[in-house]
Amino acid sequence: SFKVAIIGRPNVGKSTLFNRLAGKKLALVDDTPGVTRDRRIHPAKLYDLAFEVIDTAGFETAAPETLQGRMREQTEKAIDEADLVIFLVDARAGLLPDDKAFADIVRKSGKPVVLAANKAESRGSEAGLLEAWEAGLGEPVPISAEHGQGIPDLRDAIVEALGEERCFPEEEDEEFAAESGVLIGEDIGDVDAEPAYDEAKPLRIAVVGRPNAGKSTLINTLIGEERLLTGPEAGITRDSISVDWDWRGRRIKLFDTAGMRRKAKVQEKLEKLSVADGLRAIKFAEVVVVVLDSTIPFEKQDLQIADLIIREGRAPVIAFNKWDLIDTPQQTLAELREATERLLPQARGIRAVPISAETGRGLDKLMEAIIETHRVWNRRISTGRLNRWLEGILAHHPPPAVAGRRLKVKYVTQVKTRPPGFVLSMTRPEAMPQSYLRYLTNSLRESFDMPGVPIRIAPRASE
């Protein structure tokens, strides 16, 4: 847990914010002479953030003649003790000389700081919000401590200032991401502390599909094209299960299930093997390309693999291969896409690209689809945006009443990426109908443009 100090001159609203975070009214401050009051520390919650907040709000009532001196001392002590400072200004009043004096103290401390401009709900607060920049503490987050506006943004600003790792110190179970096979509505595990999207890391792709769908051809053509561009084998390393190469400067690690097959030395029938191979490859990969032979109809096995990819939380992309053999491309594509959407409703908007592994046509489009899907799979949406979305949902299509009582949804936060996972804080989460979760998932997908990747929503009891 980390400690937060709310700093600012008198009357900017520190107590109100304190009460909102600590969830209680402060006891009246005892300023009887001779009684040394300890700065008190209270547990606080802000959505999924748990921390402690240092009470610095009381000294406003100190005797005026000692105000400056006492406040300065108390402020410095509190800042010293804090891991993060919320510096509060009053957007309605604008930036006063006192604000600047306090801001100096905060700046000199070097502590992570979030600048919040309070009373932003008031008319005429825009000018004050602009002035708040002059505190030299970065971008002000407009909030209303009293009315609760902007509080989700405050949460995001705290996470940004302090870093995900400090905010969510629990060790992320490494295996969780790789092993989780949970579906929408099931427990999606704890908050993760994954680093932000890193373009420099190789994107891990697996290619799966039935025997003869064209997997080996696809891999060879992809790497072969690169070889033509970069010279013989330059930048390409290959072992029995994976190939490292570059596509337009993006590092790629491609898992070759055919290679895995050889390595496994399992002398079973090929039909059986493709699923087992796929399984193994899926565990390693981020994006999984399902290669289908477009000249033959979808088979159950193809979809089993796709379904598995989604359940494993990986990002699927479909390649309709052997497109050079298709006589009626437009009609066939429409049919294939329709079938894909119908048979894989869990990943609406899944990207499906016609290709010819043999001639290389469509491979650029395929790679673009892979990278775009990977990006969506890594998507993180701010708590502020999410809760504005939720507000709209609750206004127009609130959750149903179950057993005569309405379910109350309080807020939503994104707790995971890869794939995106959300927690819905609510009353009676166990009563939440799957159909409503599905509705929320689809709306999230559309509102935040996240086609074709698994999305998970877990209802949790709000405290």
Q: Residues annotated in the binding site for GTP, as ranges?
A: 8-15, 55-59, 118-121, 209-216, 256-260, 321-324
Closest distance of CB 116 from ligand GDP, Å = 57
- Do strands 203-209 and 287-293 pair parallel, antiparallel, or not at all (unpaired)? parallel
Report the residue from 109, 122, 212, 382 that binds ligand GDP according to the rule CB under 6 A: 212
Determine if 217 is a binding residue for ligand GDP (CB under 6 A).
yes
Report the residue from 172, 225, 358, 368 that binds ligand GDP according to the rule CB under 6 A: 358
Determine if 81 is a binding residue for ligand GDP (CB under 6 A).
no
- Give the pair of three-digit tokens for residue 42: 């209270």
Nearer to ligand GDP by C-beta: 50 or 258?
258
Counting Cβ atoms within 10 Å, is residue 174 exposed (0-12), middle (13-18) or buried (19+)? exposed
Determine if 321 is a binding residue for ligand GDP (CB under 6 A).
yes
Nearer to ligand GDP by C-beta: 164 or 324?
324
- The answer to whether 313 touches 180, Cβ cutoff 8 Å, is yes
Determine if 441 is a binding residue for ligand GDP (CB under 6 A).
no
- Cα separation, 449 vs 410, in Å, equals 23
Known binding-site positions: 8-15, 55-59, 118-121, 209-216, 256-260, 321-324
Neighbours of 318 (CB within 10 A): 27
> Which has the closest alpha carbon to 390: 376, 406, 405, 409?
409
Within positions 24 to 53, which residues make up the interface with ligand GDP, using CB under 6 A?
none
Determine if 205 is a binding residue for ligand GDP (CB under 6 A).
no
Closest distance of CB 356 from ligand GDP, Å = 4
- Cα separation, 53 vs 21, in Å, equals 8
Report the residue from 79, 243, 357, 412 that binds ligand GDP according to the rule CB under 6 A: 357
Closest distance of CB 259 from ligand GDP, Å = 10
- Cα separation, 83 vs 5, in Å, equals 8
Nearer to ligand GDP by C-beta: 145 or 273?
273
CA diameter of the chain:
93
Determine if 130 is a binding residue for ligand GDP (CB under 6 A).
no
Count residues binding ligand GDP (CB under 6 A). 16
Report the residue from 112, 211, 349, 384 that binds ligand GDP according to the rule CB under 6 A: 211
Determine if 214 is a binding residue for ligand GDP (CB under 6 A).
yes
Within positions 243 to 302, which residues make up the interface with ligand GDP, using CB under 6 A?
258
> Which has the closest alpha carbon to 350: 360, 361, 342, 362?
342
- Give the pair of three-digit tokens for residue 135: 């505190």
Report the residue from 92, 155, 314, 322 that binds ligand GDP according to the rule CB under 6 A: 322
- Give the pair of three-digit tokens for residue 67: 């105000």
Q: Which range binds ligand GDP by CB under 6 A, 52-60, 246-254, 316-324, 450-458? A: 316-324
Closest distance of CB 367 from ligand GDP, Å = 16
Report the residue from 9, 14, 92, 215 that binds ligand GDP according to the rule CB under 6 A: 215
Closest distance of CB 216 from ligand GDP, Å = 3
Q: Which range binds ligand GDP by CB under 6 A, 73-81, 153-161, 225-233, 353-361? A: 353-361
- The answer to whether 105 touches 68, Cβ cutoff 8 Å, is no
Closest distance of CB 442 from ligand GDP, Å = 33
> Which has the closest alpha carbon to 78: 18, 24, 27?
18
- Cα separation, 224 vs 229, in Å, equals 9
CA distances from 196 to 84, 111, 204, 362, 416 (A): 21, 22, 16, 30, 11
Determine if 213 is a binding residue for ligand GDP (CB under 6 A).
yes
Report the residue from 109, 216, 382, 462 that binds ligand GDP according to the rule CB under 6 A: 216
Determine if 360 is a binding residue for ligand GDP (CB under 6 A).
no
Q: Which range binds ligand GDP by CB under 6 A, 4-12, 43-51, 208-216, 393-401? A: 208-216
Nearer to ligand GDP by C-beta: 214 or 421?
214
Determine if 414 is a binding residue for ligand GDP (CB under 6 A).
no
Determine if 15 is a binding residue for ligand GDP (CB under 6 A).
no
> Which has the closest alpha carbon to 316: 324, 327, 307?
307
Which residues are at the interface with ligand GDP (CB under 6 A)? 209, 211-217, 258, 321-322, 324-325, 356-358
